[in-house]
Structure 1
Amino acid sequence: MQKLIAIVNVIAWAGFWAFGYIAVTSDSLSQSQMVVAALLAFAGLVTGVLAYMKLVRASESSGYAKGSNQLDAATRNRAQEEWGK
């Protein structure tokens, strides 16, 4: 499943860059073609970000990647109180 998500991630980012480039740089497109290219670029962006986040979450839970060092609520609140001193 991870390989499928990785393939979707690569294809989504390729679509984002390709259609984004077309939407931004092309002068000969009609208004509707520009809107379609922009929508496809946005869809690639959203799909790419979601697939990337899913891959990161899966790699952290499997132990392949090191987990993020987020503080628990009590430590974070104590650090916030000491920050202004």
Structure 2
Amino acid sequence: MADPNHKVPENVAGRYYVDDTCIDCELCRETAPENFIRWDAGRYSFVTLQPRNDEEEAACRAAMDECPVEAIGCDGEEVA
């Protein structure tokens, strides 16, 4: 399970995040391309946009459920 204490700093504020166990497999970027992006220098993904609608919410949830290393988390934190 993703660790909220190890979120990568590039994540935007909100419920979904990527932690430092990301292996850059591309699955989240393929599953939820509106919400995840790659940080090339660090070679990992991060949340660039929190879900804005039901479709994006479902895509983020699917990315989280399918992440092979469980690097995606959802902590219920509201956007500030």
TM-score by length of 2: 0.26
Q: Quick check: which one's strand share is greater?
A: 2
Kindly indicate whether structure 1 or structure 2 has the higher relative contact order, using CA contacts under 8 Å at least 6 residues apart: 2
Higher CA-based Rg? 1
Q: Quick check: which one's helix share is greater?
A: 1
